[in-house]
Amino acid sequence: MTIVPLPGNSSSPPQPQPSSDDRKPQFLICVDCGQEFAFTVAAQEYFEESGFHHSPKRCKTCHVKFKREHPQAAH
């Protein structure tokens, strides 16, 4: 068996890389009002940048309300 090294093999066309940031909006259920709410791609990125590795438990409305009622509680 003869292996012939291919000349110019380094110039192979670049493979399409699967994008690492092909996030999708998630739909979660709010623990307070039971409504489905969107965990948007922007929110997911914000959460990750902030170091949170969990999903939000409350919709935006309840989150604002919760923060107002529990100003000292973290999230």
Q: Residues in the site for Zn ion, rule: CB under 5 A?
A: 30, 32-33, 59, 62
Residue 27: Cβ within 10 Å count: 9
Compute the least distance from the CB of residue 21 to Zn ion, in Å: 27
Closest CB to Zn ion among 30 and 43?
30
Closest CB to Zn ion among 21 and 25?
25
Closest by CA to 57, choosing from 36, 20, 31, 24, is 31
Closest CB to Zn ion among 22 and 34?
34
